[in-house]
Copies of this chain bind each other. A is one copy, B any other.
Amino acid sequence: MPLWQIYHPAGTFDVAASKQALAEDITKIYTAVGLPAFYVVVHFTQQSQGDVFVGGKPKGDKPFIRIVVTHIAVHQPKEDAAYRRVTAKIDNALKPHVADKGYDWEYHVDETERRLWKINGMIPPPWKSEEELQWFRDNQPLPYNGAYL
């Protein structure tokens, strides 16, 4: 559900452990509100220095991490306070892996329609439903009554 696309230069997230550590902290944002862990998909994409321009120039000084987040399963009420709760959680997850490393970074979240989303051909069960709890516990998509509607 949440899809995190992390674009980073060589010299950052070079080690498998550093990717996994960030992916784990990202995952906790969502499992903390009851979403199954396997909903959280994180893609790392390393870019060549020559393929990234910031303000029309190659980004020369500090490593720059650009993150595109897509939220599908749960949308916020369109209020400042709700948006702030979301970004606070993201900031918190990024802190040890990005901010504390001295990188520059930018992220934005896109919210897309839940009803245009499927996993293994199934409609993911409603948030906080019995069926979702089942998916959470088993950490995999399981057929349920209505999954293939």
Contacts and interface: CB of A to CB of B under 8 A. Distances in A.
Interface of A: 1, 3, 7, 16, 19-20, 23-24, 26-28, 36-47, 50-58, 66, 68-70, 72, 80, 83-84, 86-87, 90-91, 94, 99, 104-113, 115-121, 123, 139, 149
Count of chain copies: 3
Contacts of A27: 53, 55-56
A96 to B, nearest CB: 13
A20 B57 contact: yes
B40 A139 contact: no
A90 B115 CA distance: 13
Given A50-B19, A56-B37, A91-B121, A108 B99 contact: no
A86 B117 CA distance: 10
A3 to B, nearest CB: 7
B41 A51 contact: no
A114 B66 CA distance: 16
Given A37-B55, A41-B52, A91-B118, 14 more contacts: A23-B56, A26-B56, A38-B54, A40-B53, A42-B52, A42-B56, A45-B51, A80-B115, A83-B116, A105-B121, A106-B117, A106-B120, A108-B118, A109-B117
